[in-house]
Amino acid sequence: MNVIEVCLTPELIHQYTLQGKIAVVVDIFRATSCMVTGMAHGVKSIHPVASVEECLALGQQGMVTAGERGGIKVDGFTIGNSPFEYMQEEFKGQSIAVSTTNGTKTILASTDADEILIGAFLNLQALVDYITTQRKDVVVHCAGWKGTVNIEDTLFAGALASALADSHTLSGDAALLAFELYEANQSDLLKIARASSHAQRLSGFGVEKDIEFCMDQSLYTAIPTYNNGCLKVIS
Q: Which residues bind a copy of itself (CB under 8 A)?
A: 8-9, 11-12, 15, 145, 147-151, 154, 172-174, 176-177, 180-181, 183-185, 192, 195-198
β-sheet bridge partners, residue 116? 23, 226
**How many whole angstroms separate alpha carbon 151 and alpha carbon 214?**
13
Please say which residue, 115 or 137, places its beta carbon nearer to a copy of itself.
137
Q: Report, in Å, the least distance between residue 1 CB and a copy of itself.
A: 16
Please say which residue, 12 or 190, places its beta carbon nearer to a copy of itself.
12
Please say which residue, 45 or 110, places its beta carbon nearer to a copy of itself.
110
Q: Report, in Å, the least distance between residue 195 CB and a copy of itself.
A: 6
Q: Report, in Å, the least distance between residue 4 CB and a copy of itself.
A: 14
Please say which residue, 145 or 226, places its beta carbon nearer to a copy of itself.
145
Using alpha carbons, select from 70, 99, 77, 24 the residue that is nearest to residue 198: 70
Type of residue found at 66: A
**How many whole angstroms separate alpha carbon 214 and alpha carbon 9?**
19
**How many whole angstroms separate alpha carbon 150 and alpha carbon 103?**
13
Q: In this structure, is the dihedral angle defined by the CA atoms of residues 214, 27, 87 and 43, taken in order, positive or negative?
A: negative
**How many whole angstroms separate alpha carbon 29 and alpha carbon 77?**
19
Q: Report, in Å, the least distance between residue 165 CB and a copy of itself.
A: 14
Using alpha carbons, select from 232, 227, 229 the residue that is nearest to residue 58: 229
Q: Report, in Å, the least distance between residue 230 CB and a copy of itself.
A: 31
Q: Report, in Å, the least distance between residue 87 CB and a copy of itself.
A: 28
Please say which residue, 3 or 234, places its beta carbon nearer to a copy of itself.
3
Grouping H, G, I as helix, E, B as strand and the rest as coil, residue 69 is strand
Please say which residue, 181 or 190, places its beta carbon nearer to a copy of itself.
181
**How many whole angstroms separate alpha carbon 199 and alpha carbon 205?**
10
**How many whole angstroms separate alpha carbon 94 and alpha carbon 76?**
18
